Amino acid sequence: TVARAVNPAAEAALGKPIVVLNKSGGAGAISTAFVNAAPADGYTFLYGAENPQLHGVMGVSDIDYGDMYPINILGRGVAVIAVPAASKYKTLSDLLKDIADNPGSVKMGSTGPGGLPSTIGALISNAADFKVTAIPFGGEGPGLTAMLGGEVDFMPAGISAAAEQIKAGKMRALAVVNPTPVDTLPDVPAIIDTIPEMGRFLPWGPFYGVFVRKDVPDDVKATLTKAFATAATDKTFLELMANRGNVVMNMSGQEAVDFLAKWQQVTVWALQDTGAAKVSPEKLGIARP
């Protein structure tokens, strides 16, 4: 994982061991609550992904990253729109035309409301004619396997989940959900080439970061920020991120705060507009982007 990849470099930068505790459950709600309940001394911090930014609108938790301080946004994932290699869809335009001509008949692999595939579907729905039938599976891996078995026609998925089978010729990527092509799949076009309106939502993707309680002392925040800024340049960490198709961000301070706010605005309102949100972003004070 991203956390275990950066951890040795962070230990070296801090000059102290870091014990990683797995607090799984609630799509990050349990680990986020654990860190927020710990003393505000900086000795307990969170390796977290994007999920808490959706907890409010999904009715999972009242805590999101607006309640915490971002030490470092280490990087983000990039998604692709994948189809089986034998699919009749050779381009994203082919897929979109079939969806427009046959509303609701094209099946999209999903991982349920709030997951990466459904969120990307929601974003596209705000930029193009995109009435599909979402079929949920227990993760991107099972969904992609089901797609290869013909159960669904296409699936948005992280490059880290799909790249191996794309490179093996079992799947084809119609587009990367990014403003530009990416090094991992350099020949795959950016989604904005076909749907320019998607540009207002990008860059978008799952992200990975380090967070502490807001009331941790400023000098402690500064020490952690410096250590993780150094750790995020570690060769082993950079290689892992590249191999997984992730984009290294190494972002902190106000830039990180602004990134988190925009990501949340874009995502929760896309979920709201497609009926996936359980609580209105407006009720939570999240402005429409």
- CA dist., res. 246 & res. 73, Å (int): 12
Helix (H) or strand (E) run with residue 15 in it: none
Residue 174 has pLDDT above 90, yes or no: yes
pTM: 0.83
What's the pLDDT tens digit per position in 143-165?
Answer: 999 999 999 999 999 998 998 99
* pLDDT at position 56: 93
Residue 134 has pLDDT above 80, yes or no: yes
* pLDDT at position 186: 93
Q: What are phi and psi of 184, to 5 degrees?
A: -65, -35
- CA dist., res. 44 & res. 211, Å (int): 9
* pLDDT at position 1: 77
Sheet of strand 79-84, all strands in order from the earlier edge strand to the far edge = 155-158, 79-84, 171-176
β-pairing, 68-76 vs 247-251, is antiparallel
152 vs 23, more confident: 152
* pLDDT at position 111: 86
The percent of residues above 70 in pLDDT, for the chain, comes to 100
* pLDDT at position 199: 93
Residue 65 has pLDDT above 90, yes or no: yes
90 vs 59, more confident: 90
Name all domains of the chain by residue range, CATH numbers in brackets. Answer: 2-76+206-273 (3.40.190.150), 79-201 (3.40.190.10)
Only one residue has tokens 């089986």, namely: 84
In order of 27, 32, 51, 56, 260, the CA distances from 60 in angstroms are: 9, 12, 10, 6, 18
Helix, coil or strand: residue 122: helix
- CA dist., res. 104 & res. 97, Å (int): 13
What's the pLDDT tens digit per position in 83-99?
Answer: 999 999 999 999 999 99
* pLDDT at position 105: 98
- CA dist., res. 13 & res. 135, Å (int): 45
* pLDDT at position 23: 82
In order of 84, 179, 266, 289, the CA distances from 200 in angstroms are: 29, 10, 9, 9
What token pair was written down for 156?
């948005």
Peptide bond into 203 cis (omega under 30): yes
DSSP, res 246: P
Rg (CA), the chain: 19
Residue 25 has pLDDT above 80, yes or no: no
- CA dist., res. 173 & res. 142, Å (int): 17
The CB-based long-range contact list for 36-40 (8 Å cut-off, 24+ gap) reads: 36/63, 36/67, 36/68, 36/213, 38/213, 40/212, 40/213, 40/215, 40/216, 40/217
* pLDDT at position 53: 93
* pLDDT (average), residues 46-55: 92
What's the pLDDT tens digit per position in 177-215?
Answer: 999 999 889 999 999 999 999 999 998 998 999 999 999
What's the pLDDT tens digit per position in 235-276?
Answer: 999 999 988 889 999 999 999 999 999 999 999 998 898 788
What token pair was written down for 129?
């004619």
Which of the four pLDDT bands, split at 50, 70 and 90, describes residue 118?
A: confident
- CA dist., res. 70 & res. 52, Å (int): 13
What is the average pLDDT value for the chain, to the nearest integer? 93
* pLDDT at position 184: 87
Would you tell me how many other CB atoms lie within 10 Å of the CB of residue 243? Answer: 12
* pLDDT (average), residues 8-21: 96
Residue 121 has pLDDT above 90, yes or no: yes
